[in-house]
Structure 1
Amino acid sequence: MISSDYVLELCNVFYSGQVEKGSCLQRMIGNIKTGVILKDVSMTVHSGEVLAVLGSKGSGKKALLDVISRRAQGPIRGQILLNNHPMSLCLFQQRCAYVTHKCDFISGLTVQQTLFYTPTKLSGYLKKSKVKQVMADLALSQVANKCVQVLTRSEYRRLMIGIQLIKDPVILLLDEPTWDLDPLNTYLIVSILSNAAKKYGTAIVLTMEKPRSDVFPFLERVLYLCLGDVVYTGGTRQMLEYFNAIGFPCPQLENPLMYYLCLSTVDRRSRERFVESNHQIAALVEKFKLEGGLFRKGSSILGPNHTMEHGLHGNKIPLLLGRPGSFVVGWTIYSRLLAATLSFKKSGLSQTFLRLVLLPLYFLLLWAFYREMKDWQQTYISRSGLVLNCLSATYFIGILNTVLMYPRYRTRYYQETQEGLYGGTLFLLTYNLVSLPFSFISTFAATAIIYPLIDGSFTVPLDYFYCSLILWACYIFTEQQTMAILMIVKDHLKAAIFSIYITALCITLSSGILRSMKGLQDWLYYATYATQTRYAAAFLNRKVFTHPMLSQVLPYNSQHNCSNTNFETSLLSGISNPYCRYANGQSFLTERYSRDPTDVIFSGILETDTNIGVTFAFALGMIVFNLFLYLIPLPSFIKAKFRE
C-alpha cells in the first residue's frame, strides 16, 4: 500500500560533460574533451514503480543518474522535479538515495553492523527493528553475522541496496545493480527491488545493459537511450503497442526488452551497418518526439487519473525533513570505527595487532639487541644507534599502520560524503578519537620496554613519562602526515614511499645522529628548526648522554683504559687518542649539535621543556592542519578516484 504519492519528472533535460577519459594533467588544466551527453530527455516515474534505463555502453545511462542526483559536473538545461519541486542537491540527499556501481564497506564489520552503523535519524530500538526488516526484505537475514569481505557478489550487491533502503528514500537510483550476476541472482535482485518499491512506496530507477526476459514483469516503466537520445520512454507493456504501431513488432519467442535494446543500439560491425543503424535510430528518436507523448505518461500499474493528482498533493507531502545531528552522526561513525577495530574477525585482529602490538614488539627486539651494552667508549655509538632506532621505528611504524588501516575508512568517507551525511572534519575527529588512545597505549608500552636501557631504572617516573610523550608525538605526526598525503594519493604504496622519503630526509638532516649539525650549510641548518625530528632527537639524546654513568671518561674496552690525564693531554696536543674519543656524554653531544667548537653549552638546542613543547606542537599542528585540509574543496577528478 503506497502511503504517499511521489512523482519524479524530467522535462527536456540536456547535459554536456566529459565524453572521454582524460589524463590527470588534462583534468588539472581543464583540457578535456566535452560534448552533449543527454539530449532532450523526458521521463516520469511514480511511487511504487520500477523504471529501467536501458542502453548500450556509452548511451548515457550513468550520466542520467548523475544528473538526477545532482552529482553531474557540467551545464544542465531542463527541469528535474520531485512533486513539482526542483530537485536540488539538498533535496536529493535528504529524500533520495543512489546505489553506485561500486561501494567499499569497512572490513571487520558484519552485515548487521554495517547496516546498523549507517548514519540515519533513527536510533536505538527503532533502528534495530529497521535493520532487521531491511535484512529480511533483501534476503540477508541468514548472513546477518557474516563478515562483509566474505560475502558473495549477490549478497554484497543486496547489502549495497540495504545501506540506502534503511534511509527510507522516496526515490532510489541504482547503477547496474545486476552487473556480472548469474541469471538466478539477477532475477532475485530485480524481484526484491520490485517488492521494496511496492512495500515502501519508493520510486526506483535502475540501469541495465543486458536485460533478461524474466525481469520483464517487474518493470513498470522503461527508458531506451542511444547516445543520449530517447528512443522510447513509458510503460513497459505499452512499449509493445508503440513499436508495433510504428512498424517494429517484436517477433514471437523473443525477449522484447533485448530486442528493442538491439534496435536502439548503433551497429558498428561495418561502415554500412553503422550508417544504416544511425539513420534508423535518428528516425526512431524523431518518431517518438512526435508520437510518443501519450506513451511517455502511460503506466501499467496506476490508474489514468493518477498522473494528474500529484500536482495537487505536491505541497502537502513534506520533502525536506532535515538531517541527523552532527553529534548523532559523529557517534555512529565513532562506534563503527571502534567496532571494526575491536572485531574478533581477521580484519579486526590485524588492526588490533598493528595498533597495539607492533611497536612494542619492535622495541622488544631492540631491547634484546642492545641489552648487552658495556660501559666502554663504544657505548656512545651504540646508544646513538639506540636513539636512532627508537625514533625511526616510531616514525616508520606510524606510517606503516596508517597506510594499512586508514585507506579503507578514507574511501568509505569519500563515498558517504556525497550523500551529505558528514564532512571531512567530523570524519577526522572520529578517526583520531579511535586512533589516539591506541597509539598512546602502544608508545607508552614500547617506551617501558626500552627505557631501562636509556635510564637504567624507573627511579624518576616523570622522565619515563616525558620520553613516552616524545615518542607518542612522533607517532602522531607521521600518522597525520601520511593521512594528509592519502587525501590526494589513492595508492597506499605510493603514499607510504612519499611519506617515508620525507621522514628519512628529516631524520638524516635534523636529528644530529647520522650527521653532525656543524657539517650542514647555513640554509640547511636553519631549515632544521622547521622539523619535528630536531627537537625529538635532541630531547632523547640529552636524556641518554647526560646520564651520570656517562659523565666520566669510559674505558675503550676491557683491555685498554682511558685516564683523564691521557685524554686531556691528547686533546691539548691535538694528537688523536688512539683509544678514547669522547671525554663524556656532554662532549659527544657537543660534537653532534654544536657548530662552534668552543661552545660546549648550546643550551638552546638541548633545553628539555622547549623540546617537549615544540615536539608536541608539531603533532597538534599537524592534526589541526588536516582538519582544515579536509575542509578545502578538492577537484572532482581527485575525489572521483576514491569513489569509483
Structure 2
Amino acid sequence: METTTSAFDIPVNYILGRCTLGNWDDDDEQADTTLSVLNVSYVVKERVGPWWKGACLRRIKHKIVLRDVSMHMKSGQITAILGGSGSGKTSLLDCIASRASGTVSGKVYYNNMECTKDIAQTFTSYVMQADRLLPNLTVRETLRYSAQLRLPGHASKFDIEEKVSKVIIEMGLRNVADSRIGGSIVRGISGGEKRRVTIAIQLLQNPKILLLDEPTSGLDSFTARSLISSLASLAHNNGKIVLLTIHQPRSEIFKMFDQIALISRGQMVYFGRTDQIVTYFSDLGHRCPTYTNPSDYFVDLASVDRRNTEIQEETSERVKELSSAYSNSTLHKDVVYQIIEDTMKPTTGRQLITQKINYYRPQKSGFFRSLFTLLGRMTLNVFRDRTSYISRIFLLSLFVPFICVFLGHLGKNQTSLQDRIGLLYQSSQVPPYVAALNAVGLFPPLRDLYYRECSDGLYSPTTFLLAYVLHILPFTILSSSIFSSVVYWVTGLQPMTQNFVHFSSLIFVMHFFGEIMCVLVMGAFMNPVLATSTSGLILSSSGLMASGFLRNVDKMLPIFQWLAWGNIFKYAGEILAANEFHNLELTCGKNGTFCFPDGDTYLNLVYPDAVENMTRNFWAVGGFTTALFICVIVVFKLRGIPNLS
C-alpha cells in the first residue's frame, strides 16, 4: 500500500525546535512575498450515466483531482508546474486562486496568512489559457479600459495613462500599442502579442503573485521562449512570484525556471530547484539520457500510458513509486517544515500582517465608473465594426420591403381585414426575433469578457447587464423607429399621430424584449446555436399561442388560456388590435354576404374590452419587460462564473 508523509506526521518537537531558531519579532516586517500550499487536496463531483436521466437519477461519483500537494514559493522566483494532460495542473492554480468549484482541503498561505478569496483577488492575478479580448479595440484602448476598471476610483487620467504605458513597455508591446487586437475575420496583432496583452491586463493592478495557465499554448517556439523570458524578467527584476503551468517546454525554456513542480494524477512527483531535478531522478534510478530535453523525459516518466492494459499497469505502478518516493524524500519534508515554521508565528504578528494587508489593499473602481467604462467600451467596439452597427440598425428594416411589396397599401374592404391581421401579427413577431439574432451575434464576446473580469472581482452582473441595456437602447430605438415609420405609413394603417405613437412604442418594447430574452437564454447556455434555437422556439410558440391573431385565445384549451395571461404577446396583440381596428370604417360588398361594417365589430368578437384595457396592457407589457430583465440578473447570479479555459 502506498505511504505518504503529511504535515501532521512530522514530529512536533522537531518543528518547535526549528521555530525557536527563527526570529519571531512581531515588529519584523515581511521582506519578501511568500506563497505556500500545504497538503492541498481537491475533490469534484461527477454524475455518471446518460444525460437523459437528469441530475436526480444519475449516480454521483467523487473524483480526486489533487492529493496532498505542498509547494513553497518566494518573490523573485518563477515556478513551472509540469505534467501531462489531466494531471491536475490547472486545478492546482484554481485552488491557489480560490476559484475551485469542488471541495478543497488543506491550506494556501499568502505571506504566512491563510489566503481567502478576498486576498486572492487583491494580490493575485490569474491569466487563463484563452485570450478573451474585444477584437475592434487597439492594445492601448484595451489596457486603458481595463485600467479604469481595475485601478481605484480616485485614480486620475494621468495615473491611468502612466500605468498603461508602463505595462506596455514591460510586456514589449510598444510597437503594436495602437494596433487593433483583431479577430477571426479581420486580422490584427499576432497570437503571442495577444498573450502579452492578456498578461499586461493582469499586471495593471501590480499583483504580488501572477498565475498563468498554459501561457505558451498555440505559440511557436520563438514566441514562447520570448514570452517566458519576459515572465522570468518580471519575476527577477520586479520581485513577483510567477507560477505557471506548461505541458512540455523546450530545453531553453526549461532552464529559465527557478523551480519545477512535476505532477502526475494529482500527486506531486517532484518539487524543487530546476538544477536539482536531474540529480534527484538519477538517484531514483531514472537517469535522463544525454542530449534529451529533461522536461520531455520527466513528464513522460511521470505519465500513465494507456495504449493497452499491460502498459497501463506498468506505468501506473511506476507513477505510484515516484510519488511515494517524493512524499518520503527530504525535499518534500523540507518544504513542509518551511511552511509550518513560517505559519507558526504568534497571533499578534498575524494581526499586524492582517492590518498591513487591509491597509494596502487597493480600492475597487466605483459603480458609476465601472458602468460608464463598460458602456464606453461596448459602444466603441461595435462602432469600429461596420457590419455590427449596420446590423443593429438596419437588420429589422430588411423585412420592410417584403411586407410592403406583399401587402401594398391596405384598403378598407373586407379582404383588408385579413391583411391587417397578418400585418399586425408580423409586427409583433418580427422585431423580437430579429433582436434575438442580433444578440446571438454580438453578445457572446461581451459575455465571455464579463466572465473573466467578474471572476477577478471587478464588477457585478448587475453592473454588466445594466451597461449592456444602456448600450443597446439607442440602437433599439433607431431600428424600431425606422421599421415603424415605413411600415405604418406605407401600408396605410390608421393615419393618426396617436395611433402611430402607440404602434411604434410597442414595436420598440417588443424589439427590446426579444434581445433581453436571448440574453437570458445565453446566461443559461454557453452554446450560441442552442441559444438561438431556444430563443426562437420561445418567441414563436408564445406568439402563436397568445397573440390571438392566428387563433382566438378563448377558443383554445383552458390550460392555454391560463398560460396566455402570463405571456407578453397576449397584451401586445390586444394593443395592436385595439390601436388599428378601433374606429376603423370598413366597406361591405353587394352580394349580401356577412361583413364587418367596422373594426369595432371585429374587436368585440375577438378582443372584447381591448380598447378599455389599452392602458392596462401597456403597463403589462412594460412590467413583463422589467421582470424579464430582473430574471436575467438572477440567472447570471445563479449561473455563477463558468470555468472558461
Task: Check if 1:141 corresponds to 2:174.
Answer: yes
CA contact (8 A) 2:131 2:194 kept: no
- Is the deviation greater in 410-419 or in 366-375? 366-375
C-alpha deviation, 1:526, in angstroms: 4.1
Identify the range of structure 1 (167-176 vs 125-134) with the bigger mean alpha-carbon deviation. Answer: 125-134
- The correspondence of residues 142-161 of structure 1 with structure 2, limited to 5 A, is 142-144=175-177, 145-149=179-183, 150=187, 151-161=189-199
2:326 maps to which residue?
A: 288
- State the 1:582 CA deviation: 2.1
Check the 8 A contact 2:409/2:490 in 1, yes or no.
no
- CA distance in 2 between counterparts of 1:86 and 1:21 reads 35
Deviation at 1:70, TM superposition (A): 1.6
Q: Pick the aligned partner of 1:166 from 188, 204, 212.
A: 204
Residue 15 of structure 2: aligned partner: none
Q: Is the 8 A contact 2:424 2:577 kept in 1?
A: yes
* Deviation of 1:360 (Å): 3.0
Amino acid at match of 1:79: K
1:463 is aligned, of 462, 487, 499, to 499
Pick one of 377, 382, 403 that aligns with 1:341.
Answer: 382
Residue 75 of structure 1 corresponds to 103
Higher mean C-alpha displacement, 276-285 vs 190-199: 276-285
Give per-residue Cα distances to partners, 1:462-503, cap 9 Å, x unaligned: 432222211111122222222222211222222222222222
2:36 is aligned with 1:9? yes
Q: Which amino acid aligns with 1:318?
A: I
Farther off after superposition, 473-482 or 519-528: 519-528
CA distance in structure 1 between the partners assigned to 2:96 and 2:343 by the alignment: 22
Aligned partner (choices 202, 206, 210) of residue 248 of structure 2:
210
**What secondary structure, in the 3-state scheme, does the structure 2 residue paired with 1:117 have?**
helix
1:211-250 matches, cutoff 5 A: 211-250=249-288
Amino acid at match of 1:449: V
CA distance in 2 between counterparts of 1:71 and 1:443 reads 42
Q: Which residue of structure 1 lines up, in the alignment, with residue 530 of structure 2?
A: 494
Q: CA deviation at 1:398?
A: 1.9
- Counterpart AA for 1:588: Y
Structure 2: how far apart are the matches of 1:409 and 1:333?
10
1:43 matches 2:80: no
Q: Deviation per CA, 1:182-232, whole angstroms, max 9, x where unpaired?
A: 211221111121122234322111111112101133201101112222221
Identify which range, 514-523 or 391-400, moves more after superposition: 514-523
Q: Does the 8 Å contact 2:47/2:59 carry over to 1?
A: no
1:507 aligns with 2:534: no
- Matched residue type, 2:41: F
Instruction: Report the equivalent of 2:27.
Output: none
Task: Tell me which residue corresponds to 1:598.
Answer: none
When residues 592 and 165 of structure 1 are mapped into structure 2, their CA distance, relative to the original with a 3 A threshold, is: same
- Quote how far apart the aligned CAs of 1:378 are: 1.7
Q: Which amino acid aligns with 1:553?
A: T
Q: In terms of mean alpha carbon deviation, does 205-214 or 514-523 score higher?
A: 514-523
Gapped regions of structure 1 (runs ≥ 5): 299-303, 557-561, 571-576, 594-601
Of residues 212-221 and 110-119 in structure 1, the stretch that sits farther from structure 2 once superposed is 110-119
Q: Does 2:422 correspond to 1:381? A: no
The structural deviation recorded for 1:363 is: 2.8
Answer with 334-343 or 102-111: which moved more.
102-111
Structure 1 segment 87-486 matched on structure 2, within 5 A: 87-118=115-146, 119-121=149-151, 123=155, 124-144=157-177, 145-149=179-183, 150=187, 151-268=189-306, 273-293=311-331, 315=353, 318=357, 320-343=361-384, 348-453=385-490, 460-486=496-522
> Mean Cα displacement is larger for which, 144-153 or 52-61?
144-153
Quick one: distance in 1 between partners of 2:547 and 2:103? 54
Report the Cα distance in structure 1 between the residues aligned to 2:99 and 2:376, rounded to whole angstroms: 29
Shift of 1:518: 4.5
Partner secondary structure for residue 357 of structure 2: coil
Q: Deviations over 1:10-41 (max 9, x none)?
A: 12222222579976568834734323322221
Is residue 49–residue 202 contact of structure 1 (8 Å, CA) maintained in 2?
A: yes
- In structure 2, what is the equivalent of residue 559 of structure 1? none
1:77 deviates by: 2.4
What secondary structure does 1:35 align onto? strand
Q: Deviations over 1:571-590 (max 9, x none)?
A: xxxxxx1xx63222222333
What displacement does 1:364 show? 4.7
Give the letter aligned to residue 472 of structure 1.
F
- Indicate which of 594, 611, 634 corresponds to 1:628: 634
Say which SS state the counterpart of residue 530 (structure 1) adopts: coil
Aligned residue number for residue 20 of structure 2: none
Instruction: Find the structure with the greater CA-based Rg.
Output: 1
Contact in 2 for aligned 1:94/1:323 (Cα 8 Å): no
What secondary structure does 2:565 align onto? helix
Q: Quick one: distance in 1 between partners of 2:636 and 2:282? A: 56
Contact 2:523-2:632 at 8 Å conserved across structures: no
Closer/same/farther in 2, CA of residues 256 and 395 from structure 1, 3 Å limit: closer
Q: How far is 1:83 from its partner?
A: 0.5
Is the contact between residue 538 and residue 606 of structure 1 (CA under 8 Å) also seen in structure 2?
no
Q: Does the Cα contact within 8 Å between 1:425 and 1:628 map onto a contact in 2?
A: no
Amino acid paired to 1:53: I
What do the CA deviations read for 1:575-623 (whole angstroms, capped 9, x no partner)? xx1xx63222222333433xxxxxxxx3356533223222222222222
Correspondent of 1:537 among 573, 576, 596: 573
Residue in 2 aligned with 1:573?
A: none
Instruction: State, as a whole percentage, how many aligned pairs show the same letter.
Output: 26
Distance 2:494 2:585 in 1: 17
For the Cα contact (< 8 Å) 1:173–1:205, is it kept in 2? Answer: yes
Asked if 1 retains the 8 angstrom alpha-carbon contact of 2:524 and 2:635, the reply is no
| Residues 25 and 414 of structure 1: CA distance in aligned 2, closer, same or farther (over 3 Å) | farther
CA contact (8 A) 1:234 1:295 kept: no
For residues 126-157 of structure 1, give each alpha carbon's deviation from its aligned partner in whole angstroms, at most 9, with x where no partner exists.
Answer: 22232233233323333332233134332232
Query: What amino acid is the match of 2:541?
Result: L
Residues 96, 169 of structure 1: 8 Å contact kept? yes
Residues 84 and 215 of structure 1, relative CA distance in 2, 3 Å threshold: same
Match for 1:55: what amino acid?
G
Per-residue deviation, residues 260-296 of structure 1 (Å, max 9, x unmatched):
3233233445655544444444333333333333896
TM-score scaled to structure 2, two decimals?
Answer: 0.84
Residue 3 of structure 2: aligned partner? none
SS at match of 1:148: coil
CA offsets 1:104-144 (integer angstroms, 9 cap, x no match): 32333233222222221155222223223323332333333
- Structure 2: how far apart are the matches of 1:100 and 1:381? 57
The residue type equivalent to 2:94 in the other structure is D
**Contact preservation (8 Å) 1:482, 1:495:** yes
In 2, are the aligned partners of 1:470 and 1:616 still within 8 Å (CA)? no
Change (3 A) 1:236 1:210: same
Q: 1:599 maps to what in 2?
A: none
Q: Is the 8 A contact 1:44 1:296 kept in 2?
A: no
**Which residue number corresponds to residue 585 of structure 1?**
599
Aligned 8 A contact 2:436 2:535 in 1: yes
TM-aligned CA deviation for residue 90 of structure 1:
1.2
Matched length: 595
TM-superposed CA distance for 1:318, in Å, is 3.1
Q: Following the alignment from structure 1 to structure 2, what is the Cα–Cα distance between the partners of residues 423 and 22?
A: 35
Q: Structure 2 regions of 5+ residues with no counterpart? A: 1-29
The 1:296/1:325 distance shift into structure 2, 3 A limit, reads farther
